[in-house]
Every structure is written in structure tokens, then in C-alpha cells.
Amino acid sequence: MRVSIDRHVDASDTDADGMHDWHYEYDVYRFSQGWRSFVARAYTEEPEKAAFLSREVKVFGFYRHRLLGSADLTSSLFVAAVAHLRALGVTSFDRLTNTGYVSIEDTDLGGATE
């Protein structure tokens, strides 16, 4: 598994005192193996939480993105991604769905499959 991490800062312009109205800092993780990747985000102010945003599949040199399905949660790549994040101290996982974020419970992970 290949892991890439990109740090992002999203903030409003600073006011006269040098302060932001809002400021978010987060890391985007991409866990890749072959033609598949899972993308997750973790905010620096909540290091114990991570949210999986999408699954990417490379088709003819282009990446196609989609939300994670139940079968993705038991893939060996996803299970390895969760293990990697757990080693970094993440204890709570969510995934983005069509209706918002839902919690990923240990029972959702089942056994790893290809």
C-alpha cells in the first residue's frame, strides 16, 4: 500500500488584527494499491477522527471517484488504510454518503477481502 499525505489550510482573509473569521487545517490521505485508492481527511484539531471521502479507480489513465459502498469497507486496501490511521492515533472513523457522514463501526469492517 502506498500512502500519500497532503496538508491543506482553508481560511478566511485576515482582519485588521491579523485574525481569521474561520480557519481549518487538515490532512488528506490517499491510500493506493494498483488501480484503486481510498481518500480520507483528518482535521488537525481532531486528530482522533478521520472521514473517508471517496474511492478512486483508475480507468484508462483517468481517476473515477465515487462514494464508498458497504463492500469497500471489507476490502483489504480499506482495512489496511484503517490500520494505518489507527497507528497514527485515529480511533473514530466516518464515511461520506449521499446524505452526509455516517460512522464506521468495527463491525462494519468485517473481514478483509480482495
Please give the share of the chain, as a percent, with pLDDT higher than 90: 65
pLDDT tens-digit profile of 86-104?
999 999 999 999 999 999 9
The pLDDT, as a whole number, for residue 11 is 73
**Strand pairing of 49-59 and 23-33?**
unpaired
* 69 Cβ contact list (under 8 Å, min separation 6): 55
pTM: 0.84
- 71-to-5, 46, 68, 112 alpha-carbon distances in Å: 25, 27, 8, 10
- 21, three cell numbers: 473569521
